[in-house]
Structure 1
């Protein structure tokens, strides 16, 4: 656990987490509940850093049923919870930070979006200037030159600076 930044306080059996305990992830999300054979097993509660919680029942590390309470108090219950397992990276942000209440959709994995320089794209690891065909990190340090394939992908897929300012486009 020390290699991953996680910690555990609680009962052990045969060198594995077993019984009641608290498991803290590197993200500061905490699981408090029952463990068996080194996995979440039985009843437990995930406490996310944004104040939301998930009370559930686990089997061999996989949540089978539970109730999610958003940080604003809104409750969501679903039976046969079949996502957010360790193999599904689709919900990584939700596992780390908790789900957010309904509202404006997130455009990226970040809580606050980067302000994209004029005429550029946000390509996920930095900004892309299509005229220079250069990608810089978010502090504007050179990362790489885009080849034709990456250029086409960024231009057709990524957020653009002119989408954020109404009535502005590189053609205007």
Structure 2
């Protein structure tokens, strides 16, 4: 996972830095990663983009294989039938509440592909 290194004074950080597991350092000012303008993953920023037609789906390349019927929710896999989140080694993490369930279904990468159609605005 990520790590937070800091200078502490009486249990309070006076200055510190958070580094994500992939090496990306968080900046509280002038943060441009995932800001809507630059959609590259951190590994693409470091190593460059792949040729057209070989898009990277996640920061991890190749991406993890998601178990059938499940979603990759960032810290593990989510099964919407059981509403259980397990880590990437398939160990129990938590039961998803209604809000997390809706967020995962709406947002996260799933194990299957779906064909979508363009719906013109009325």
The two structures have a TM-score, normalised by structure 2, of 0.56
For residues 3-62 of structure 1, what are the alpha-carbon distances to aligned partners after superposition, in whole Å with 9 as ceiling and x for unaligned? 97xxxxxxxxxxxxxxxxxxxxx95xxxxxxxxxxxxxxxxxxxxxxxxxxxxxxxxxxx
1:106 maps to: 56
- Cα 1:87/1:147, change in 2 over 3 Å: same
What SS does the aligned partner of 1:132 have? coil
More strand by share: 1
Mapping 1:6-25, distance limit 5 Å: none
5+ long unaligned stretches in structure 2? 6-21, 24-28, 35-39, 116-122
TM-superposed CA distance for 1:100, in Å, is 2.1
- Residue number among 76, 86, 107 corresponding to 1:157 in the alignment: 107
Question: Aligned residue for 1:93?
Answer: 42
Quote the offset at 1:95 in angstroms.
7.5
What is the total number of aligned residue pairs between the two structures?
85
Paired position in structure 2 for 1:137 = 87
Which ranges in structure 1 are unaligned for 5 or more consecutive residues?
5-25, 28-84, 167-172
Match of 1:22 in 2: none
3-state DSSP class of the match of 1:128?
strand
Query: What's the C-alpha RMSD, in Å, of the aligned pairs?
Result: 3.1
Q: Relative contact order: is structure 1 or structure 2 higher (C-alpha 8 Å, sep ≥ 6)?
A: 2
Q: Please show how residues 4-153 of structure 1 align to structure 2 within 5 Å.
A: 87-90=31-34, 93-94=42-43, 97-103=46-52, 104-153=54-103
Instruction: Output the CA distance in 1 between the equivalents of 2:103 and 2:83.
Output: 12
Q: Distance in 2 between matches of 1:162 and 1:127?
A: 13
User: Which structure's CA Rg is the greater one?
Assistant: 1
